[in-house]
Amino acid sequence: MDFFKRETRINFMAYRLHAAIFTALLVAAALAFLVFRGLNLGLDFTGGTLVEVGYPQAVDLAEVRETLDAGGFDGAVVQTFGTARDILIRLGPDAGEGDALSNAVLAALQAANPEAELRRVEFVGPQIGEELAEKGGLALLYALGGILIYVAFRFEYRFAIGAVSAVLHDVIVTIGIFAGIGLQFDLTVLAALLAVIGYSLNDTIVVFDRIRENFIRMRKGTAVEVTDRSINQMLPRTLVTSLTTLLVLIALFTLGGELIRGFALALIIGVLVGTYSSIFVASSAALALGVSKEDLIPPPKEGEDLEEERP
């Protein structure tokens, strides 16, 4: 089977102005969501206590809330988790002495219904929460910095800027979508975000690699033509890899359980956004910065290879 019987000839770069406007709008919308709605930060970053309790049958949330109110746990957020038999209770960092609180909550619930079973407790002190948030931010910065340096070293600084702007775009849009939908942003989502950075970059690098090769091989053709040709040549691969990755992510999203769902969703969004950005953001940015044939003087070894293959 082959989706692409012959090489496609889509003039991607002809649309690059439209794409730029669309991208700008997308990023602006994402930033607006981030600023005005804000991220729904998970326990990892805010600190607080979370207790997950399982019941053999579905329970009434109102009853659980009443039990907790009667127990003096004011401000407890009660929701179901996955199924109606699973209850998630979240308490803010100022709800009481952290490590004793979870035991008290469980004791109160078990007094009301002895079948309540403790499934999970998470308690994060406020100081730890701050640290995790700080570390997470630093991790994003270092990942971006490391990639910038590697791409600049392997290609050229304009490509590096193109790659990093594509990755930044992916991160901002993915976080923006999380803020927009109000999905919880916790440590695993942050990990997914870093994996998105790796993935999106992977996509971008593959296209850049071909652009570099074509600049050297195609005697004629403007930078725009070379870029278009390269994107078209890599299109089957870009789409096939995105598809296989999405396939496993969908498996993870549907079967992986509630704990991993946010992680899988962040990656699914990231892969979609990353595929878009590697076509329209990374290459356009490199072009806009004025990448030309002269910038890519080939290392001697690769040049020889190519000479041999042209008949």
Partner 1 sequence: MRGTEATDNHLLVRLRSNEAQVRAADELDVALGRDYTVALNLAPATPAWLRELGAEPMYLGLDLRGGVHFLMQVDMDAVVEQAVERYRDEFRRALREADLRYRDIRPQETGLDIAFIDEVTRDAALELLSADYLELAFEASESDQAATLSAEITEDELREIRNFAIEQNITTLRNRVNELGVAEPVIQRQGADRIVVQLPGVQDTARAKDIIGATATLEFRMVDEGNFPYFGDESEPVPPGTERFPERGGGFVLLEREVIITGEAITDAQSGIDTETGQSQVNIRLSGSGGGVMARVTGDRVGDHMAVVFKETELQARRVGDEVIREQVEVEEVINVARIQEQLGSRFRITGLDSSLEARNLALLLRAGSLAAPMQIVEERTIGPSLGQENIDQGMAAVLLGFALVVVFMAVYYKVFGLIANLALFANLILIVAVLSILQATLTLPGIAGIVLTVGMAVDANVLIFERIREELRAGSSTQQAIEGGYGKALSTIADANITTLIAALVLFAFGTGPVKGFAVTLSIGILSSMFTAILGTRAIVNFIYGGRRGVRLAI
Kindly tell me which of 14 and 202 has the beta carbon lying closer to partner 1. Answer: 202
Rounded to an integer, what distance in angstroms lies between the CA atom of residue 103 and that of residue 118? 10
Kindly tell me which of 20 and 41 has the beta carbon lying closer to partner 1. Answer: 41
Extract long-range pairs of 151-160: CB within 8 Å, 24+ residues apart.
151/201, 151/205, 151/208, 155/208, 155/212, 155/296, 156/291, 156/295, 156/296, 158/286, 158/289, 158/290, 158/291, 158/295, 159/208, 159/286, 159/291
Kindly tell me which of 21 and 248 has the beta carbon lying closer to partner 1. Answer: 248
Q: Minimum Å distance from CB 168 to partner 1?
A: 14
Kindly tell me which of 150 and 293 has the beta carbon lying closer to partner 1. Answer: 150
Residue 27 neighbours by CB distance under 10 Å: 16
Residue 301 neighbours by CB distance under 10 Å: 7
Q: Minimum Å distance from CB 80 to partner 1?
A: 15
Q: Rounded to whole angstroms, what are the CA distances from 96 to 36, 75, 128?
A: 30, 11, 16
Task: State the residue for tokens 């998970």.
Answer: 42
Kindly tell me which of 263 and 280 has the beta carbon lying closer to partner 1. Answer: 263
| Residue 64 CB burial class (10 angstroms; 0-12, 13-18, ≥19) | buried
Kindly tell me which of 209 and 295 has the beta carbon lying closer to partner 1. Answer: 209
55 token code pair: 């019941």
Q: Minimum Å distance from CB 199 to partner 1?
A: 7
Kindly tell me which of 79 and 103 has the beta carbon lying closer to partner 1. Answer: 103
Secondary structure element (H or E) that encloses residue 71, with its range:
none
Kindly tell me which of 15 and 153 has the beta carbon lying closer to partner 1. Answer: 153
Judge whether 44 and 189 are in contact, CB under 8 Å. Answer: no
Q: For 38, phi and psi rounded to 5 degrees?
A: 75, 160
Kind of pairing between the strands at 48-54 and 184-185 = unpaired
The closest of 279, 231, 230 to 18, measured between CA atoms, is: 279
| CA dihedral angle for residue 190, residue 196, residue 149, residue 142, rounded to 10 degrees | 0
